[in-house]
Chains A and B, each alone.
Chain A
Amino acid sequence: MSVNLSVTLAGIKLKNPVMPASGTFGAGREFSEFFDVGRLGAIVAKTVTLKPREGNMPPRICETTSGMLNSIGLQNEGLEYFLKHDLPYMRKFKIPIIVNIAGNTLEEYAQICRDLKGIEGVSAIELNISCPNIKAGGIAFGASSRLAEQVTAAARYNTDLPLIVKLTPNVYNISKIARAVVSAGADAVSLINTLVGMSIDINTFKPQLANYTGGLSGPAIKPVAVRMVWEVAQTVNVPIIGIGGIMTAEDAIEFFLAGATAVAIGTANFINPTAMIDIINGIERFLSERGLTDIRQLVGKVRL
């Protein structure tokens, strides 16, 4: 029996609901030796900013129990380079491309959106709103519903592309933030970004990361992510991309049951380069073993 894995997300048709999480896949170059990237539902680029960014000082990565901390700091070559070098490469895979963007002011977000207008191969824009708003005294856009709403608006009024807003879990009430970004015109939300964490070396008494704190990802954050996806699914009616600690198809299934329409895979890519393909195959197997014919039969089907 054939199984339908295709989903529609913010108006983009995906042949399956599995994609990389931003920042963990580059432009896909390193992965194309391991598998046919064209098999993915979509490709999500690493966060791009208007101007090149150097990122934080090393060490920027450390392992933790069931997870990892990173403080890469959105290192990237800037939009111009991205459009010239990375995007043309990604287009070759002939799958939808989601461009993840960030800025330190509303105007930077707006500007990137305008610069992406009419660029071939860009299927959607994902807003990374975890970065600090300079004008608001450095608090993250995603940490306040008002700022989150404004940054969504700054993008919304400057692009006709589908708009996905990636929510940060470092907030008290993520549903409120989700509603705020949807109220401003987000077509979909993705969650979660990394949880702020810290790790200390007890031999040197020093933090493991040069930046002291970093973003926690991997299996350690999965239950938090599932809970947040489930909560947000109750409060907004736009599709959700579930992210956080997904290592296997079974992990992904949890997210679908909680209400995600698609999933993105981050840390797992560093551990097993073919993780996403294994997950696609595993989801298909899970469905057919249960006589289910369509991935949508799982979405939001947690029994309460």
Chain B
Amino acid sequence: MKNPYIAHPAIITNIRQETAETKTYTLEFTKQKRGLVFIPGQFNMISLLGFGEGPFSITSSPLRKEIFEHTIRLVGSLTGQINRLNVGDIVGIRGPYGSGWPVGLAKNKDLLIIAGGVGLAPLRGLIDMAIEQRNGFGEVEIMYGSRKPENLIFTSDYDNWRSAPNIRLFLTVDEVPKGIEWPYGQGVVTNLLKFSKINPANALAFICGPEIMMRFIVRSLLIREFAEKNIFVSMERRMECGMAKCGRCMIGPKYVCTDGPVFSYPEVKALPHNLLAASL
């Protein structure tokens, strides 16, 4: 039997600076000829020998088979080491893991995508997929917020998104530094929902961001008559094994690594601790 803990080496073929702390890495397996088969929203465990391992969403389109991408923000020791890597360096990859966004359910539906900060990372592959298979999905609305304009990720993708038919992209930041021209919104992401035109009856909502943001978004979506079952969130917990073995990531009876990280709102509601409790 193959050891599921074995990481496969992948080489960094490109690095793109997204923000001061965040970079997108393009990766290719060095041995396996086949690429990575995954659903957007799934993650890989990325390891650096001697520095540990952590979960990171796959941020490229699942339709791009030969390469895959990760977008990683520098927050601590592992991500600090990853941040020092160069093109040509090797990392270990285990995965893909987790539930991913329900792309099957999303077929022919309108998509309302709401993200905060690096929370856009697990959604980028879904957006790219919806753009590449434009006829397979309805309208796509993206509502994205960050602290400042300089903290927005994937800015080099926006022109491409905007030039696809029936995509609407709304941006907001908490704060606009002096001297920056910012024609978009200022305030919390929830403010952007007023621009939504899609009919909740034929739409799915996909959300990823800080839990406090997700709580307010869910609440607003329920007021806008989104059915609970049509709301999906991606949750983040610290992980070790990524395969429902170690229990590190558990919320009540659920494993974020295998039952999630993408959960439907009714699933989250059933969890203890009143996560995302959206009392109306």
Contacts and interface: CB of A to CB of B under 8 A. Distances in A.
Contacts of B194: 160
Counting chain A CB atoms within 10 Å of each CB, the highest count among B163, B168, B194 belongs to B163
Given A146-B159, A185-B195, A157 B165 contact: no
Nearest to A109: B183
A179 B170 CA distance: 14
Chain A interface main SS type: helix
B157 interface: no
A277 B29 CA distance: 69
A184 B166 contact: no
Interface stretch (A19-27, A52-60, A63-71, A148-156): A148-156
B159 A106 contact: no
Contacts of A237: 139, 165-166
A61 interface: no
B181 A135 contact: yes
B165 A184 contact: no
Interface string B170-201: 11000000000101111000000011000000
B161 interface: yes
Interface string A151-186: 101101100100000000000000010011011110
A110 B165 contact: no
A154 B185 CA distance: 9
Contacts of B170: 185
A150 B169 CA distance: 12
A146 B162 CA distance: 9
Interface string A4-26: 00000000000000000000000
Contacts of B167: 179, 183
A192 to B, nearest CB: 20
A145 interface: yes
Contacts of A146: 159
A145 B166 contact: no
Nearest to A158: B183
What are the nearest 5 A-B pairs in CB distance? A154-B183, A183-B162, A153-B183, A157-B185, A106-B183
Interface of A: 106, 110, 135, 145-146, 149-151, 153-154, 156-157, 160, 176, 179-180, 182-185, 235-237
24 contacts: A106-B181, A110-B183, A145-B162, A145-B163, A149-B162, A153-B184, A154-B183, A157-B183, A157-B185, A157-B186, A160-B194, A179-B163, A179-B164, A179-B167, A180-B162, A183-B161, A183-B162, A184-B162, A184-B168, A184-B169, A185-B168, A185-B170, A236-B165, A237-B165
